[in-house]
Amino acid sequence: MTELMTNKPIAVLGGGNTAFAVAARLTLHGHRIVLAEVPEFAAALDPIRATSAIHLRGVAGEGKAALYRVTTDLGEALAEAELVLIIVPAYAHRPFALACLPHLRAHHTVVLMPGTLGSLEWAQLLHQAGVEGVTLAEVDTAPYVCRKTAPDTATIWGVVKGLGLGVLPATQTARVQALLEPIFPGVQTYADVMACGLSAMNPVVHPAGVLMNAGRIEYSQGEFHFYEEGVSPSVARVIMQVDEERRRIGAALGYELLPVHEAFHRAGFGPAGDLWATINGSWMLTRLKAPGSLESRWLTEDIPYGLAAWSRVGAQYGVQTPTLQALVELGSVVMGFDAWKAGRGLEELGLAGLDRKALTQLLEKGKR
C-alpha cells in the first residue's frame, strides 16, 4: 500500500449511487474517506449527515462504513487529500471543476469516474484559471454496478475487472496507475485520456437502448429489466453501429479501440460473445431496471457529453458519424433541448483548431 494511501484521506466528490458505494467500500477496506458535495446538492448527504455512515450491501462486502468526514465544503475536502475522485454525471464536471479551482494544488491527482473526455474540459478550465501542475485522469466506466437501495444504503451487484485509466499528461500514467491499484485492483491503462474517453461504455449502449424503448419506458415507468428485455437483437444492431463509428474515430487518431461487447466481457460484465449474448449472460447487468422516465441521465448525460462530443471530435479529424448524429438529433427532440449546445464542444475540450501533432503534444505533455 502506498504512503499516500496509508496516511492521507481520499476525497470522494459526489452524492449519487456510485459515490456512496465507493465511499462505503473504501472505508470498509481501511481508507479514510472524505465524502463531499457542492452546497447546491447538500440534500444528497442529508441521510448520512448525522451519523457519517453508509450501509454497504452486495457482492463487494457488507457492513456499516463510518466515513472519516462528510462535508459540503470542498476546501475542507481537498485540504488533506492528495487523491480526489470525482464521481458525478458528466454535466456536473464543469460545476465541480469551478468549485474546486480555488483549492487545487500541484500535489493533487484528480480522477473522473467515469470521464468521457471530462479530463480535457477540466484541463481547459485549469489552464484558463492559471492553475498548473494538477494531474488529471479519467476512467472508462464506473467501478461498480450499484444503486442506492435506501437513503443511507448502497448495494453493489458487480465489481468491474480491469478498470480502464487514461491520464493527462500521459507521462504520469504509471504513477497514477500505482496510486489507484490498491483501491481498484486490476487497473488497465490507455495510451492517454482521449483513448479512454472514446472507450466509455455508457454512451454506446444507453442512448440507442433508451430511445428505442421510449414508449415502453413511459408506459411502464421503467418497470422492466433494461438490458435483459430492452436490448433485443435489433436494438443491439443499432448499438453496434454506434460502436463502429466510435471505433472509426479512434482509428483516425491512432487507437485500436475494443468493440463494446469485448469491453463488456473484459470488464467482467458477462460471457464472451456478441453484444446480445454478453448482455443476456450477465448476472449483474440483467439486474438493472430501465430508467423510470425519459428524463434520465442515460439520455441527458450520454447524448450531449458522449455521442455529441464524440461526433464533434470525429468531424474535426475527418470521420463521418451519421448514426451518432441521428441519435443526437432524435434525442434532442425527446429531451426537449439541443444536445449539441448542451454538451461539450471542441472549445470546452480545448481541442478547437488542434491538428494531430498539437493534439498528441497536449495529450502526452498536458501542454498546448
CATH of the domain at 130: 3.40.50.720
| 173 and 262, same domain (yes or no) | no
How does DSSP assign 266-317, residue by residue?
HTTSS-SSSHHHHHHT-TTGGGPBPPSSSSSHHHHTTIIIIIHHHHHHHHHT
Determine contact, residues 362/139, Cβ cutoff 8 Å. no
**Tens of pLDDT, residues 282-339:** 877 877 889 999 999 999 999 999 999 999 999 999 999 999 999 999 999 999 999 9
Task: Output the pLDDT for position 5.
Answer: 45
| 193 and 210, same domain (yes or no) | no
Extract the C-alpha cell encoding 41: 446538492
What residues are paired with 71 via a beta bridge? 36
CATH of the domain at 224: 1.10.1040.10
| 177 and 269, same domain (yes or no) | no
**Tens of pLDDT, residues 177-220:** 999 999 999 999 999 999 999 999 999 999 999 999 999 999 99
Q: How many domains does the chain have?
A: 2
| 161 and 47, same domain (yes or no) | yes
| 260 and 180, same domain (yes or no) | no
Q: Is residue 148 part of a domain?
A: yes
Determine contact, residues 236/275, Cβ cutoff 8 Å. yes
Q: Is residue 366 part of a domain?
A: no
Q: Is residue 336 part of a domain?
A: yes
Determine contact, residues 368/350, Cβ cutoff 8 Å. yes
* The total number of residues written for the chain in this structure: 368
| 292 and 339, same domain (yes or no) | yes
Tell the burial category of 228 from Cβ atoms under 10 Å away from its Cβ (0-12, 13-18, 19+). Answer: middle
**Tens of pLDDT, residues 100-152:** 999 999 999 999 999 999 999 999 999 999 999 999 999 999 999 899 999 99
**Which of 178, 197, 216 is at the close of a domain?**
197
Residue 28's closest CA among 58, 66, 59, 2? Answer: 66
| 121 and 166, same domain (yes or no) | yes
| 166 and 54, same domain (yes or no) | yes
Domain boundaries, position 308: 202-346
Does the pLDDT at position 76 exceed 50?
Answer: yes
Extract the C-alpha cell encoding 208: 440507442
pLDDT band at 2 (very low <50, low <70, confident <90, very high): very low
